[in-house]
Chain A
Amino acid sequence: MSAYELVVGLEVHVELKTKSKMFCSCPADFGAKPNTQCCPVCAGMPGALPVLNRRAVELAVKAGLATGCKINRKTKLDRKSYFYPDLPKAYQISQFDRPLCEDGFIELEGRRIGIERIHIEEDAGKLVHEGERSLIDLNRSGLPLIEIVSRPDIRSAEEAAQYLKKLRLILLYADISDARMNEGSLRCDVNLSVRRAGERLGERTEIKNLNSFSNVAKAIECEYGRQVLLLESGGEVLRETRRFDEKSGTTIAMRGKGMDYRFMPEPDLPFIELSERDISRIKDEIPPLPDERRERYGKLGLSEYHSQELTADRRTAELFERAAELTGEVQHLAALILTAIPAKAEKYAKLADMLGAGRISSAESKRLLALDGDPEENAIELLSDEVQLREIAARAVAENPKPVSDYKNGKAAAFKTIMGAAMRESRGRANPVMLQQLLLELLSP
Chain B
Amino acid sequence: MSAIAGRSLAQIAAELESGIYSSVELTERCLSEIERDELGIFITVTPEQALFSARQSDRRRAAGERLSVLDGIPMAVKDNLCTKNIRTSCASRMLESFVPDYDATAVSRLLCCGAVMLGKLNMDEFGMGGSGDSSFFGAARNPRNPEHTAGGSSGGAAAAVAAGLAAYALGSDTGGSVRQPAALCGVTGLRPSYGRVSRSGLAGLAGSLDQVGVIAGNVRDCALVLGAISGEDAADSTTLPGTAPDFTGLLDGGISGMKIALLEEQCSGMAQEVKAALLETVKVCEGLGAKVERVSVPLLDTALPVYEIISAAESSVNLARYDGIRYGYRAAEYGSLDELYTKSRTEGFGREVRRRLMLGTLLLMPELRDTYYNRATRVRTLIKSELDRLLESFDLLLSPTVPTLPWRLGESRSIGERRDCDSCGVAAALAGLPAISIPVAGAGMQLTAGRFAEAELLAAANAITEADR
Query: A and B, one complex?
Result: yes
Chain A residues in contact with chain B, CB under 8 A? 40, 43-52, 79, 81, 83, 85, 88-91, 136, 260, 262-264, 266-270
A41 and B415 CA atoms in complex are apart in Å by 38
Q: Which residues of B contact A (CB under 8 A)?
A: 80-82, 88, 90, 95, 98, 100, 102, 104, 199-204, 206-208, 234-238, 313-314, 316-317, 320-321, 323, 325-327, 337, 341, 361, 364-366, 369, 373
Of the candidates B316, B326, B365, the one whose C-beta lies within 8 Å of that of A43 is B326
Q: For B327, list chain A residues within 8 Å (CB).
A: 45
In the complex, chain B residues whose CB is within 8 Å of the CB of A88 = 321, 325-326
Question: Is the CB–CB distance between B313 and A264 below 8 Å?
Answer: yes
Nearest chain-B residue to A51 (Cβ)? B237
Cα separation A263 to B200 with both chains bound (whole Å): 23
CB distance from B141 to the nearest CB of A (A): 27
Closest B residue to A89 using CB positions = B321
For B362, give the chain A residue with the smallest CB separation: A262
18 A-B pairs with C-beta separation under 8 A? A45-B321, A47-B81, A47-B104, A47-B203, A49-B237, A89-B320, A91-B317, A262-B317, A262-B361, A262-B364, A262-B365, A264-B313, A264-B317, A267-B206, A267-B208, A267-B314, A268-B207, A268-B237
Chain A at the B interface: SS class? loop
- Contact: B100 with A264, CB < 8 Å? no
Q: How far is the CA of A266 from the CA of B314 in the complex (A)?
A: 9
Known A49-B235, A85-B337; judge A90-B323 contact (CB<8 A): yes
B201 touches A47 (CB 8 A): yes
Contact call B199/A260, Cβ cutoff below 8 A: no
Shortest Cβ distance from A90 into B: residue:
B320
Q: How far is the CA of A81 from the CA of B363 in the complex (A)?
A: 13
- The CA of A90 and the CA of B319, in the complex, are separated in Å by 9
Q: CB distance B317 to A46 under 8 Å?
A: no
Interface of B is mostly: loop
Q: Across the interface, name the chain A residue whose C-beta is closest to B81.
A: A47
Q: Which listed residue, A40, A50, A85, touches B325 by the CB 8 Å rule?
A: A85
> How far, in Å, is B451 (CB) from chain A's closest CB?
15
**Distance from B167 Cβ to chain A, minimum over Cβ atoms (Å):** 24
B321, A260: Cβ atoms closer than 8 Å: no
The answer to whether A79 and B317 touch (CB under 8 A), given A46-B100, A47-B201, A47-B204, is yes
Q: Are A264 and B203 closer than 8 Å at their CB atoms?
A: no
A178 to chain B, nearest CB (A): 28
Whole-angstrom distance from the CB of B100 to the nearest CB of chain A?
7
Additional A-B contacts beyond A44-B326, A267-B314, A270-B238 (8; CB < 8 A):
A40-B102, A46-B100, A46-B321, A47-B202, A48-B200, A83-B341, A88-B326, A270-B237
Considering the chains assembled together, what is the distance between the CA atoms of A260 and B316 in angstroms? 14
Report yes or no: A46 in contact with B88, Cβ–Cβ below 8 A.
yes
- Asked whether A46 lies within 8 Å of B82 as measured between CB atoms, the reply is yes
Query: Once bound together, how far apart are the Cα atoms of A266 and B207, in whole Å?
Result: 8
The CA of A260 and the CA of B237, in the complex, are separated in Å by 28
Nearest B residue to A91 by beta-carbon distance? B317
Residues of B within 8 A of A50 (CB): 237
CB-based contact A269/B81 at 8 Å: no
Complex formed: what's the CA distance from A437 to B183 in Å? 109
B317 touches A51 (CB 8 A): no
Chain A residue at smallest Cβ distance from B234: A51
Specify the chain A residue showing the minimal Cβ separation from B319: A90
A51 to B234, CA, bound (A): 8
Known contacts A40-B102, A85-B337, A269-B237; A47 and B200 CB within 8 A of each other:
yes
In the assembled complex, the Cα of A267 lies from the Cα of B202 at a distance in Å of: 14
Known: A81-B317, A88-B326, A267-B314. A47 touches B199 (CB 8 A): yes
Q: Which residues of B contact A270 (CB under 8 A)?
A: 237-238
CB of B127, distance to nearest CB on chain A (Å)? 12
Query: Quick check: B321 and A264 within 8 Å, CB to CB?
Result: no
Rounded to whole Å, the gap between the CB of A265 and the closest CB of chain B is 8
| Residue in A45, A90, A264 whose Cβ sees the most chain B Cβ within 10 Å | A264
Q: Which 7 A-B pairs have the closest CB atoms?
A: A267-B207, A90-B320, A46-B203, A267-B208, A262-B364, A47-B201, A44-B321
Identify A83's interface contact among B82, B102, B323, CB under 8 A.
B323
User: Which residues does chain B contribute within 8 Å of A51, judged by CB atoms?
Assistant: 234-235, 237
Q: A268 to B238: give the CA distance in the assembly, Å.
A: 6
A225 CA to B341 CA, complexed, in Å? 39
Give bound CA distance, A16 to B317, whole Å.
27
Bound-state Cα–Cα, A69 to B218, Å: 57
Verify B364–A264 contact, CB threshold 8 A.
yes
For A44, the chain B residues whose CB sits under 8 A away are 321, 326
A264 engages B314 (CB within 8 Å):
yes
- Report the minimum CB–CB distance from B254 to chain A (whole Å): 37
A90 and B203 CA atoms in complex are apart in Å by: 15
State A277–B35 Cα separation when bound (angstroms): 62
Beta-carbon contact of B200 and A49 below 8 Å: yes
- Given the complex of chains A and B, what is the CA–CA distance between A88 and B320 in angstroms? 9
Measured CB to CB, the closest approach of chain B to A215, in angstroms, equals 27
Q: How far is the CA of A45 from the CA of B322 in the complex (A)?
A: 9
Given A40-B102, A83-B341, A262-B364, A49 and B320 contact (CB-CB distance below 8 Å): no
Distance in Å: Cβ of B423 to nearest Cβ of chain A: 23
Q: How far is the CB of A271 from chain B (nearest CB, A)?
A: 11
Q: How far, in angstroms, from A264 to B321 measured CA to CA in the complex?
A: 15
Q: How far is the CA of A89 from the CA of B100 in the complex (A)?
A: 16
- CA–CA, A81 to B320, complex, Å? 8
